[in-house]
Each structure stands twice: as structure tokens, then as C-alpha cells.
Amino acid sequence: MTVEFGDPVPARQGFVVGVDAGGSSTRALAVAGDGAVLGRGGAGGANPNSHPVELAAARIGEAITAAVTAAGIEPQAANACVIGMAGSSKLTDPTVAALFDDTWRTLGLPRVLVLSDAEVAFASATSAPDGTVLVAGTGSIAGRIRHHRMVATSGGYGWLLGDEGSAFWLGREAVRRTLDELSGGKDLGALSRSVLAETGVDPGDRLQAWRGLITVANSEPPIRLARFAPLATAAPDGDPIVERAATLLVDLAMATRDQGESTPVVLCGSVLAGPVGARVREKLAGHEVHTSADGVIGAAWLAAVEAFGRKAVRPEAKDLMN
């Protein structure tokens, strides 16, 4: 039986594939129409903005192959495949899109829908079709979700132009605080001491330390400033930075919402799992707030919705632990 993408079919007759392709890892699930996890697969990072596009495509293919092989099924029998991809905007380049299309064709997948990682993160936490997703990891972005798709964004400009409240932003603020204290003759706080210890800069001579820290920070790729983020959130004197980050992130989220909107807000990313996230939740009191459970669950469920209709069963996170 030939099933067109999006046409409901009896759940017992099919399966779907969901993929969460991030910057550091890629995971795939083969899921039956009743929500049962049939097979799992994994591979390295597949963000085409941070990895060569050929490698990113190959890793997604590797994860899918592993999942369907574990399930003992053929990829061409899938009713739907949804891939949540960090850096999915890269596929606006026709050459890049063609390369990924070749990967799907080689696998034999009948049709593939590529979404952003933010869209599958939202779907992993709630079945609601509309709402807001706020992502804060190395970078930051908020998305307006309508009918499970992101229709507008706030932020997401990258480290050079934005990424307010992100790990990059937190790390940069930690280094700036340290430089201000070194150059201003103030006592070095716990955060500044930890930044200098992390970089191996001796604070004995303040002018030399100031120069040394600037040299270290500028000798590495700018995004490496994100490595100082945990220092900012852990230091007792880092609270003003944490508070400011939370305010900026809430502003991003609220910029995607209508006045009085009551739809869910889904939080996703490493920064929102710690002290910054706690402050964001406090500031969003009165809103329905969820934490993204697992992007690959969202991808698999959206694939099931495409194949089996709105009543498709969501895979359970506990099934991924077995």
C-alpha cells in the first residue's frame, strides 16, 4: 500500500522515524504507530553550520540506518520521517539541500520533512499546536509556534549580533566583569578569580593580568567564551549576571507572544537547566511552562502525526532508557 506523507493510516500498519540532529550528537528513533520504540540509533553531531555538510548528512544517515536496522525493518517502508536539525537554515542553499536529498534517496526514505531543532523541542514537551519555544544553550532564540511550526522568531542572531542570555553571553559577561575589576583597582570577586584560574592568568600583577586575559580571550574562537558560563552561574557574586540573562531571555520569549496569550512556553537548552532557568521560570510565573523532554521524542511524534493523524501516540521518555 502506498501512503502519501500526511495521510492517516492504521497505526498497526506502519512506523515512522524521528531524528534529533544537534551540534554534538545525532539520535534517531524508529517508532510504531502505537508509540512503541522499535529501534534506536546514534551518530556524531550533524549541524551543517558547524560540521562539513557531507559529514552532517552522512551522520544523519548513519543514525537512521542504525535505528531501522535495530528494529529489523527497511527505511523505505516508513510512513513518515521528521528530522529536527540544528542549523536547518543551511538547507536554504540549493546545493546543500540537494546533498541531503541525495542522502534520503540513498536510504530509500519515501519522503522527509526537515524542521528546526526548536520545533521538535517544543513538540517533545507538549501536544499543544501553538505556543512559544525558548532555547538557550551556546546561543539563544525564541520561536512562535503555530500548528507545530515556527512561524516567527526573536533573537537567534548568533554571537556577533546577539545571543542574549546564552552561554556565550554569560561567558563574555564573566570575562568583562574580570577585566573591569582588574583595570578599576577593585577587589577581585569570586567570579573574577575563577575566570583567571580557568585561563591560567596570574592576578599578581594586575596590568599584566588584564593584558593576559584579553590575549587569551582573543586568541580563541569567540564562541569559546561560552566555557566561562558555568563560572558565572556558580559564583556567589555572579547573581547580577544571572539575573540580567534571565531578563533578556524572558524578553526574547515574550516578543513572540500576543498580548494575553495563554499558550505553553517550552524551555530548552543547557543554560535553562540551571540557575538562569530557575529565574526564567520565576519571571514566567502565571504562564504554563514546560521543559523540553527530549528532541528526538518530539521529532518522532511529529512524524507520527504526519502519518497517522492528530491522535498519534507520543513515545514515552522511559522507553528510551531501556
Judgement on whether residues 73 and 142 belong to the same structural domain of the protein: no
3-state secondary structure of 151: strand
Give 248 or 50, the one with higher predicted confidence: 248
**Which among 148, 153, 156 is positioned nearest to 131, based on CA atoms?**
148
Which stretches within 110-257 are classed as H helix? 117-125, 167-184, 190-199, 206-219, 229-234, 239-254
pLDDT range class, residue 6, cuts 50, 70, 90:
very low
Domain that holds residue 59: 11-127+293-320
46's CB contacts (< 8 A; 6+ apart) are 21, 22, 26, 55, 56, 57, 59, 60, 63, 85, 86
Judgement on whether residues 133 and 237 belong to the same structural domain of the protein: yes
Mean pLDDT across 104-131:
92
Distance CA 309, CA 205 (A): 67
What is the per-residue pLDDT across 264-282, written as a single tens digit (0 to 9) for each?
A: 999 998 899 999 999 999 9
pLDDT of residue 193: 96
Judgement on whether residues 199 and 303 belong to the same structural domain of the protein: no
Judgement on whether residues 117 and 134 belong to the same structural domain of the protein: no
Q: Is residue 18 part of a domain?
A: yes
Judgement on whether residues 150 and 233 belong to the same structural domain of the protein: yes
Mean pLDDT across 304-311:
87
Judgement on whether residues 139 and 117 belong to the same structural domain of the protein: no
Distance CA 289, CA 281 (A): 7
Instruction: Give the total number of structural domains in the chain.
Output: 2
- In the DSSP assignment, the letter for residue 258 is -
pLDDT of residue 257: 95
Q: How many CB atoms lie within 10 A of CB 237?
A: 15
Q: Is residue 35 part of a domain?
A: yes
3-state secondary structure of 187: coil
Domain CATH for 76: 3.30.420.40
Residue 158 has pLDDT above 90, yes or no: no
Domain final residue pick, 263, 283, 304: 263
Q: Enter the pTM of the model.
A: 0.83
Judgement on whether residues 145 and 256 belong to the same structural domain of the protein: yes
Return the bridge partners of 40, or none: 29
Phi, psi values for residue 26, rounded to 5°? -130, 135
Judgement on whether residues 241 and 134 belong to the same structural domain of the protein: yes
One-letter amino acid identity for 214? I
pLDDT range class, residue 321, cuts 50, 70, 90:
low
Q: Is residue 225 part of a domain?
A: yes
How far, in Å, are 16, 248, 294 from residue 105 at the CA level?
16, 43, 27
Q: Is residue 273 part of a domain?
A: no
Supply the mean pLDDT for the chain. 89
What is the per-residue pLDDT across 67-81, written as a single tens digit (0 to 9) for each?
A: 999 999 888 888 999
Q: Is residue 82 part of a domain?
A: yes
Q: 43-52, 206-215, 246-255: which has the minimum mean pLDDT?
A: 43-52
How far, in Å, are 46, 86, 99, 107, 156 from residue 96 at the CA level?
13, 14, 5, 17, 21
Judgement on whether residues 309 and 217 belong to the same structural domain of the protein: no
